[in-house]
Structure 1
Amino acid sequence: MGTETSVPKRLAVVLLVVVLLGAVPTGVAAQSESTVGGTVVVEEGETIEDLEAVAGTVVVEGTVTGDVSAAAGDVRIESGGEVGGDLETASGSVTIDGTVAGDVDVGAGNVAVGEDGTVGGDFTAGAGNVVVDGTLEGDAAIGAETITLGEGASIAGDLRYNGDLQGNTDAVAGSITEDSTLGFDIAPTLQPLASWLVSLYTLALNLLLGAALLALFPRFSDGVAERVATDPLRTGAVGFGVLIGVPILLVAAAITIIGIPFSIVGGFAFALVVWVGIVYGRFAVAAWLLGYADLENRWLALVVGMIGGAILAQLPFVGGLLNVLILLLGLGALAWGLYTRRRTPGTREPEHRDRIGPDEPAGD
């Protein structure tokens, strides 16, 4: 019996570790890397050959000696970052403040080449808005609704464009030609598409974290749902107090030199607690609502809650406000549950319970 029940627990622990690793920024240290992650970073001082990434954010602070290919919400070549080959990306936004030695071929909602940005090859972009304030050493072909050449811009070759060209056209050493064949109609769709890809990735992480929490702490999770359903006002007030009070305490701790390390570690720990609060809040609200339909299955509540929260996140203003309220409920129920558990130590989580509600006899 003990061996059989310990296997799901071990799997849940492994699942939780995988989720936490997937949620933190991923450093790239391999010679050639293909990766999927929330944030993919080539750290300052690191050198790799090539990078292929699907992520929420891709950041190059170090050196990629070869090519960079990315599908992401945001792609940034930071000041000091170097790409020795080509940059190809479809993303919500692209910012080049470093150096790309080869060609740049991007489709994005917004593209910017900063004052410190340099592109050694040809520059091709289809976007909603393009701002060039750096150096393009080859030819440029830009299709965008708005194309702005800043005072620091320098284009050594020819410029072909389609859209509203503004700014410092004297920055172009070659010819300037309007070319209606350069399209940018697809560019405005890339930013919401990238946003949805990031949302799907976040949804998957939230589902995995929720599954690990339900598998490891079934009674505690049911208690969270029960607290939200029975006393939402007080639970939300507790959550508001935690959300405001803990950061104040962390800032106060950082005032002293001894407290700085505790404040930093506490900040990371609190961020994790807030994430758990978001997951628990969505789970608890879904369980509460499903209870009115006599559907008291925790796994169904988890799926409905995570999908519902992801949909709310896409709604302007109202969705964000509702998700904040759900966070307060989840954070309050979590804090309340941890406080109660500390005052009554020694309780153990039962095995094989699928319903949300009063404790039931354990099955075989």
Structure 2
Amino acid sequence: MCLLCLSLVGGVASAQSDRTGGTVTIASDETHDGDLEVTGGDVRIEGTVDGDLTVTGGSVFVPGNVTGDLTVTAGTANVSGDVGGAITATGGTIHVREGTTVGGPADITGGTITIDGSIDGNTRLDGDSVTVGPTASIDGDLTYRADRAEIDDSATITGTVTEREDSGMGPFSDTSLPDVPDFVVTPLLGAYLFLANFLLGAILLLVAPSFSESVSDRGIDRPVVCGGVGLVSLFAAPIVLVMVFLSVIGIPLAFFASYNIIFAVWIGLVYGAFVVGTYTLSLFDRVHRWGALAVGLALVSIANALPYVGWVLVLFTLLGIGAIVRSLYDRHVRGKEDGEAPDHPDPAPPVNETR
């Protein structure tokens, strides 16, 4: 789920398999090695994914290249890049634009479906409105079902064209997918992310209550320092992974650690929200750890839904990671929860000498 989205070094994109956030963009100069899952309110894939790509969002635009299969679930989806494998898409409005090349079969279900690109394989279209434009090319059979359908005579279709009377979905054959607007998809996605984050936060508070309080205290006490420590930690983690990866024995360890880093970033986001929520309640002279968690994650959900403020999630995550690192340092390296060394050691007991 997260966040997927906090990669601070372009060269470590292959170490991450998930991107999550209000607005998620894979830059045009970015190449991801391996499968990638992206979740966001607005998702734009401009770069290259050397593997399978799974995208979920209210609005999805894929002008980039995918060497494997492409799976899209969105209110609105536009595909204009090259896809090496099959394409599976579900949404309100789906458009495979002119110039797009799909190297495998296509299975598309939506409210409004438009095909203007090339598909190398059998194609199945199921929607309220289906349009196959004059520039479309389907190297295989076309099977479609729609209340309104337009198959242009100039379209190139090498196989047979079959119109189905039903959607082939058993007792729900007369039910078509509604046109899901973005303003419905985005709140639902935000509610799902809130519940997932709250579940993780509840586990942290129940399993490690004193440590969670320590993280909150350090984040509130010195937020700028914690943010800096979190930034350094995120920069240092990929360097450590590369050093481990250089040894043959370290290769599997590096892959295992890369997934742990993703989970650590998620924990950092939740703890950062807990710190902010605790501070917010303190402004009203209130102390309640569950309320603090809820308030902080509510702020995360708001930042996740609003455009142009996704950077707030980065600040929350850096604050949380830094507070975690400081708490671990104080507890395990210096051996004290309060982080301060004693002024004087306890005097040694007297030694009785016998002659």
Quote the residue 1:115 is aligned against.
103
Quote the residue 2:312 is aligned against.
322
Residues 63-212 of structure 1 aligned to structure 2 (within 5 Å): 91-92=74-75, 97-98=85-86, 107-110=91-94, 114-117=102-105, 125-127=110-112, 130=115, 133-136=119-122, 143=129, 150-154=136-140, 156=142, 169-171=155-157, 187=179, 189=181, 193-212=184-203
Distance in 1 of aligned mates of 2:153 and 2:218: 59
Query: Quick one: structure 1 residues 99 and 290, their matched pair in 2 at CA, closer, same or farther if it must change by over 3 Å?
Result: closer
> Deviations 1:271-330 (Å, cap 9, x if unpaired)?
121111000001101111221111111111001111210121011121x11111111100
> Deviations 1:36-76 (Å, cap 9, x if unpaired)?
xxxxxxxxxxxxxxxxxxxx79xxxxxxxxxxxxxx759xx
Unaligned runs of 5+ in 1: 1-18, 24-55, 58-71, 82-88, 176-183, 348-364
Q: Does 1:235 align with 2:217?
A: no
More helix by share: 1
Q: Does 1:268 align with 2:259?
A: yes
Quote the residue 1:12 is aligned against.
none
**Residue number among 312, 329, 332 corresponding to 1:339 in the alignment:** 329
Checking the alignment, whether the CA contact within 8 Å between 1:158 and 1:173 is kept in structure 2 is no
Distance in 1 of aligned mates of 2:323 and 2:315: 12
Distance in 1 of aligned mates of 2:152 and 2:235: 45
Query: Quick one: structure 1 residues 250 and 279, their matched pair in 2 at CA, closer, same or farther if it must change by over 3 Å?
Result: same
SS in structure 2 of the partner of residue 127 of structure 1: strand
Distance in 2 of aligned mates of 1:235 and 1:158: 56
Q: Report how many residues are paired.
A: 259
Checking the alignment, whether the CA contact within 8 Å between 1:143 and 1:162 is kept in structure 2 is yes
> Deviations 1:4-44 (Å, cap 9, x if unpaired)?
xxxxxxxxxxxxxxx9xxx9xxxxxxxxxxxxxxxxxxxxx
Checking the alignment, whether the CA contact within 8 Å between 2:110 and 2:179 is kept in structure 1 is no
Unaligned runs of 5+ in 2: 5-38, 41-55, 59-66, 162-175, 338-355
Checking the alignment, whether the CA contact within 8 Å between 1:94 and 1:108 is kept in structure 2 is no
Distance in 2 of aligned mates of 1:342 and 1:79: 45
Distance in 1 of aligned mates of 2:125 and 2:225: 63
Checking the alignment, whether the CA contact within 8 Å between 1:203 and 1:306 is kept in structure 2 is yes
Amino acid of the structure 1 residue aligned with 2:102: G
Q: What is the percentage of aligned positions where both structures have the same residue?
A: 25
Distance in 1 of aligned mates of 2:104 and 2:255: 32
Checking the alignment, whether the CA contact within 8 Å between 2:140 and 2:157 is kept in structure 1 is yes
Amino acid of the structure 1 residue aligned with 2:213: D
Amino acid of the structure 1 residue aligned with 2:179: A
SS in structure 2 of the partner of residue 205 of structure 1: helix
TM-score (norm 1): 0.56
Quote the residue 1:296 is aligned against.
287
